Amino acid sequence: MLRILFILAIGIAVQATAQDFNLQVEKMNGIAYADGVDLGKKLKMNMTWQSEAGILQIGNSSWALGSAWVNLKDTSFLLQAVVKSKITSKQSFWLPLPSSLRVFEKLLNRPIEYDSASAKIYSKPTKDLWSVNLDSKENGEVVELKLSKPFVVETFYTKPNYLLRINGLVIDSTMFSDLAKKSSMISRVIPIQDKQSVQITLVIKDNCEGIELVKKDEGKTLQVVLRKKHYETKAASSSSAAQGSGSKKIKTIVLDPGHGGKDPGAIGYNSYKEKEIVLAVGLKLKSKLEEKGFTVKMTRDSDEFIELAKRPKMASDWGGDLFLSLHCNAIEGKERQQRAEGFTFYILRAGGSEEDKAIARRENQAIALESDKKGKMEISPAEWIILDNQLALYAEKSALLAGYLVESFDGGSIRKVQKGASQAGFMVLVGAYMPAVLAELGFITHPNDATYMSTEKGQNEIAENLAKAIVNFSK
Ligand SMILES: [Zn+2]
């Protein structure tokens, strides 16, 4: 059974290969005509010539001299001009372009284009599949298909075969020919084209522990994300090796007061603004840490708008040893605003509860204010793969730092929410190659939290608690 399937795949694969060729084209009364016999041959169609009736049969179509109608099985198709014969040759059959090509498209079920400049015919099954790319990362691979429009896609995974069925797509199978060669996780790629759909089977190697299909670009980009096995174990051992080589002294601390400028952050109780509270706390924390001998850098020390992605990059450029992003939590709805209170310290990690994800989305909204970007608020599964390296190396230390922060805040004026620490996809932590935590200091929408965070006393105490945790962490 398997063998039959494979032979079938080869047969169809050959048929689905792209063709292009030159045609003999003549202009008559301003209309381009192609030699029908020539065209039929080059498209590898069966032809029958009924000379007396003046009819040329090409595949399932009949073309009659002097007629603009082509008969196709049970329908008729109207050409832009009549089929002509040239007096010099009785057997010549000239078909008007480009309308005749539409008939061949129906016969062959694939796009056929005519380029008048080069008098070339392109028969490209690749019209809707623009590219196939493989991106290899240390921790996995991403196979990316770019399509002309969204298609209905189904996937089936029966180890070791991962099957991707795309309805209505016609492909050029040669586009997949070197995919397996380039990949370290796919041993073979079998594209099977039929009239309704294309089935692309990826035969997956043992080193893969999970596959996920990600749609981007409103479905026009498909990413098959392959996660490599044993990666975490390897990364964990390398991170513990790094720890073993003597824990790095914390010298430079990067403080990141969230939002700023045109982005006020959350606006809460009594119209307090998140961007003002976190800047005030950040400045106080800076002087406290400097008193203790740390070098402190700030992503902003005034009311300034800074793109999310720039913040961790600044931290890395400064050679930071610790990144702390300061924020205030917020919630919608009057009743919930009375109830939701407390601090939470977040590290960057996939997963997290729905509430955590919602908080991350809200904090990621600043991206919508960045002029050149569309509002992308979530980290995609493919991006998580790419991030894994950073996560594996720093998640442990970040979690440790979050632990010290919870300990230092516990029992203070702002209450602990559940465990006080959690994880989610905060964009501002992406690319910080150092232990990194995002602090939701308290709920700006809660009367007590907001009032406390807005006072000089509250801000000083918060800064004091943050400094204490950092000192403990750096010991
Ligand atoms: Zn914020």
Residue with token string 């014969």: 85
For 212-258, the pLDDT digits (tens) are 888 887 888 899 999 887 644 333 334 433 343 334 589 999 999 99
CA of 327 relative to ligand 1 center, distance in Å: 4
CA of 359 relative to ligand 1 center, distance in Å: 9
CA of 475 relative to ligand 1 center, distance in Å: 29
User: Residue 281 contacts by C-beta under 8 Å, 6 or more apart in sequence?
Assistant: 257, 326, 441, 453, 459, 462, 463, 466
Domains located in the chain, CATH noted? 19-123 (3.30.457.10), 129-229 (2.60.40.3500), 247-474 (3.40.630.40)
CA of 263 relative to ligand 1 center, distance in Å: 9
Burial grade of 186 (CB within 10 A; 0-12, 13-18, 19 or more):
buried
CA of 116 relative to ligand 1 center, distance in Å: 58
Average per-residue pLDDT for the chain: 83
Task: Return the percentage of the chain with pLDDT > 70, whole number.
Answer: 86
pLDDT score at 245: 33
State the pairing for strand pair 61-64/55-58. antiparallel
DSSP H or E stretch at residue 95: strand 89-96
CA of 325 relative to ligand 1 center, distance in Å: 9
Question: What pLDDT band is residue 125 in, cutting at 50, 70 and 90?
Answer: low
Return the minimum-mean-pLDDT range out of 77-91, 226-240, 348-362: 226-240
For 169-207, the pLDDT digits (tens) are 888 777 888 899 999 999 999 888 887 888 999 999 988
CA of 386 relative to ligand 1 center, distance in Å: 25
CA of 264 relative to ligand 1 center, distance in Å: 9
pLDDT score at 1: 45
For 39-68, the pLDDT digits (tens) are 888 888 888 887 777 888 888 898 988 888
**Distance separating alpha carbons of residues 120 and 62, to the nearest angstrom:** 24
pLDDT score at 286: 98
CA of 390 relative to ligand 1 center, distance in Å: 22
Which residues on adjacent β-strands are paired with residue 163? 156, 201
Whether 103 and 70 have beta carbons less than 8 Å apart is answered as yes
Residue 89 above 80 pLDDT? Answer: no
pLDDT score at 148: 81
pLDDT score at 358: 86
pLDDT score at 411: 92
More confident residue, 451 or 192: 451
CA of 401 relative to ligand 1 center, distance in Å: 19
For 403-422, the pLDDT digits (tens) are 999 999 999 999 998 889 99
Question: What pLDDT band is residue 16 in, cutting at 50, 70 and 90?
Answer: very low
